Amino acid sequence: MKQKGKLFVSLFSLVVVSFFMKCTSSGNKAHFSTSDSLVSKESEKVRTEILRVLKDTTLFKEGLAWIGIDGKMGVIDRSGKQLTPLKYDHFGQFHNGFAIIAININGSKAGYPCEPKYRYGFIDKTGKETVSPKYDNVNDYNYGIAKVQINGKFGFIDETGKEIVSPKYDEVTDFNHGVATVKINGTYILINKTGKEVSSKIYTSVGNFSEGLAVVKYDIDAQSYRYGYIDTTGNEVIPTKYDAAEDFSKGLAKIQFGGKYGYINKTGKEVIEAKYDRLEYFSEGLAAVSNNNKYGFIDTEGHVVIPIMYDYVDGFYNGLAEVNLLNNYDGTLHDFFIDRTGQVVKSKEVRITRSTTATNENSGGYDLSNTTKTCTWCGKTFSGKAWTVSLGEPIQWKNLGCCSRKCAVESYNSQRH
């Protein structure tokens, strides 16, 4: 009886073990099969995405491109080789050998009331994370240095990720000519690439460097301030004495002093005296100037080459400038073009019409030779001299000899400048 009991237990145990092994084996087999299926599906999605990107060469920057599946991004090269896992939530294009990468640290998607919160870093062209995603914001590398932000403060890192200027400034500019402008405690100073302060004076504003000089603003007191220029070593090379100052271009900078405008060179010399109410930029070697609401043109040496007599002027383009002149006789404003010598070359209203004021008609035109007119500019009376304008042709410009200006006659109007 005991042997039968032992035999029954053994058989029962064998059945249980066999059943357990069968279930386990069967379960393992199903598990691996399912896993393989999932891997296969994911691999297929990746392959499809890689093929899509490879077909569009415009997606590649510096030989690399981003691929994305289900909101996660990674990098491939032109052969389709995947250089990084699909783990980034945001990215930038490769620039100077590096790309900005970002991780969403709170998992939120864009939209109210929650917004994603990113941390930024860099990868290089091999896919290596040279800077782990830890900054609130970063800029692309520029000459081997990148601007970074964390906890509201700005600093700089090099290509290895080393903080060469610790994030402690309220504002920073990119490095230009080896220096950057930084703001701390409400004032601006210059630092070099080691973080050393190189400016000896505290400014409330520092502009970008142009031709080796930057405009600076210095507060005299709470109500008054002046502008000057510093070089890239931080030295004030042109004193802060101007009411306003602009960047240098082609060796000249426009300044305002005593309410009047002029130009200085890079030594601070006034090459064009500050004596104009308005002063425009040079165009084709000439700049428009204005005093008492009249306009003319000066050359780069400050000589007035076109008299200050017009009511409005545009800059020169292809050798011509559009000017306006008010007719004091009838109050009309006339537009026409002058060349660089001030000579009138054509009117904007280039068409004329028939008029009852003409005395003779010759070959479809109007002979004004026998017409007595009064100059609407100087008030003198004169007689035309064989002056013919053809119907539909541009207005003919002539010096009437009654005043220093050049006048035009239209068949339907008296002469005008």
Q: Is 140 helix (H, G, I), strand (E, B) or coil?
A: coil
Question: How far, in Å, CA of 417 to CA of 409, rounded?
Answer: 9
Summarize pLDDT for 402-411 with one digit per residue, the tens: 444 434 333 3
Number of helices and strands in the chain (H, E): 1, 37
Q: What is the DSSP letter of 327?
A: -
Question: How far, in Å, CA of 77 to CA of 69, rounded?
Answer: 17
Residue with tokens 């304008």: 389
Residue 129 · residue 101 · CB < 8 Å? yes
Maximum mean pLDDT: which of 252-256, 343-347, 376-380: 252-256
- Say what percent of the chain tops pLDDT 70: 70
Summarize pLDDT for 39-48 with one digit per residue, the tens: 566 788 999 9
296 sits in which H/E element: strand 294-299
pLDDT at 357 over 90: no
Average confidence (pLDDT) over 328-335: 69
Which region among 269-278, 289-298, 399-408 has the lowest average model confidence (pLDDT)?
A: 399-408
Could you tell me the CA-to-CA distances from 220 to 73, 119, 187, 256 in Å, in that order? 53, 42, 13, 17
Could you tell me the CA-to-CA distances from 86 to 63, 69, 209, 381 in Å, in that order? 18, 7, 41, 88
Residue spans per domain, the chain? 46-169, 172-276, 280-348, 350-417
Better pLDDT: 382 or 68: 68
Give the per-residue pLDDT at 208: 86
Residue 316 · residue 340 · CB < 8 Å? yes
Residue 296 · residue 287 · CB < 8 Å? no
Sheet containing 321-326: order of strands? 312-313, 321-326, 333-338, 344-347
Question: How far, in Å, CA of 62 to CA of 93, rounded?
Answer: 9
pLDDT at 190 over 80: yes
- Say what percent of the chain tops pLDDT 90: 48
Summarize pLDDT for 153-179 with one digit per residue, the tens: 999 999 999 999 999 999 998 887 788
What rounded mean pLDDT belongs to the chain?
77
Question: How far, in Å, CA of 239 to CA of 230, rounded?
Answer: 9
Nearest 5 degrees, angle CA 324-CA 308-CA 255? 110
pLDDT at 362 over 60: no
Q: Is 359 helix (H, G, I), strand (E, B) or coil?
A: coil
SS3 per residue for 14-69: HHHHHHHHHHHHHHHHHHHHHHHHHHHHHHHHHHHHHHHHHHCHHHCECCEEEEEE
Give the per-residue pLDDT at 330: 61
Give the per-residue pLDDT at 108: 64
The distance in angstroms from the start CA to the end CA of the chain is 139
